[in-house]
Amino acid sequence: MIQIQITDNSATPWLIKAVEAIDKPRALLDAVGAALVASTKMRFVDGKGPNGEPWAAVLRGGQPLRNTGVHLMNAVSHRVENNADGWSVTVGVPYAWAAVHQFGATINAKSAPWLRFKVGDRWARKKSVTIPARPFLGLGPDDRREIAGIISSALRPGSP
């Protein structure tokens, strides 16, 4: 048995908020998830990964994952779950092909001698195309500070 005795009444409101956050974490995790979705979407605007490194461009003058990646950016969402392992928040996209952008890949022509695709107003033919990794999912230093701020705010007495 663990017993905690508090003799300072000024700590009581803080403890009540902490117990509420532990007992009902959905709202707290939902706030964390929403913040991570916002920061992930900003990576598309800034063209930088979670670590702050700029994404490599494939086409001269193009903005990586911005020219054609708006569909991917708009698909970023979060989900709060309570399962056998406890509560969690997941941020992601519903597309398997997003892994090509997250991790990079080389695409080779298989059913034809060439890959054929449009670049600007011209058509290109290549036997293979290497797409560099452009990580958009993940936690960066700013995300970690934001999460700490959300938790700190949620535990502050008088906060909703």
pLDDT by 10s per residue, the chain, length 160? 555 555 666 666 666 667 676 777 888 899 999 999 999 999 998 989 999 999 887 666 566 676 556 889 999 999 999 988 888 999 999 999 899 999 999 999 999 999 988 877 889 899 998 889 999 999 999 999 999 999 888 877 666 6
130: in domain: no
105: in domain: no
Task: In whole angstroms, give the CA distance from residue 125 to residue 155.
Answer: 58
| Domain containing residue 142 | 9-96+136-155
Instruction: Report pLDDT for 83.
Output: 87
45: in domain: yes
62: in domain: yes
144: in domain: yes
Instruction: Report pLDDT for 58.
Output: 66
71: in domain: yes
State which H helix or E strand residue 106 sits in.
strand 105-108
Rounded to 5 degrees, what angle do the CA atoms 124, 126, 130 make?
A: 110
Instruction: Report pLDDT for 131.
Output: 87
28: in domain: yes
Q: pTM higher than 0.85 for the full model?
A: no
140: in domain: yes
Task: In whole angstroms, give the CA distance from residue 118 to residue 124.
Answer: 6
* Tally of structural domains, the chain: 1
Instruction: Report pLDDT for 33.
Output: 96
State the DSSP string of 122-160.
Answer: EEEEESEEEEPP---SS--HHHHHHHHHHHHHHHSTT--
Q: At what angle do helices 141-155 and 12-23 cross, to 10 degrees?
A: 120
Instruction: Report pLDDT for 25.
Output: 85
Q: Strands 77-83 and 128-131: what pairing?
A: unpaired
Instruction: Report pLDDT for 11.
Output: 61
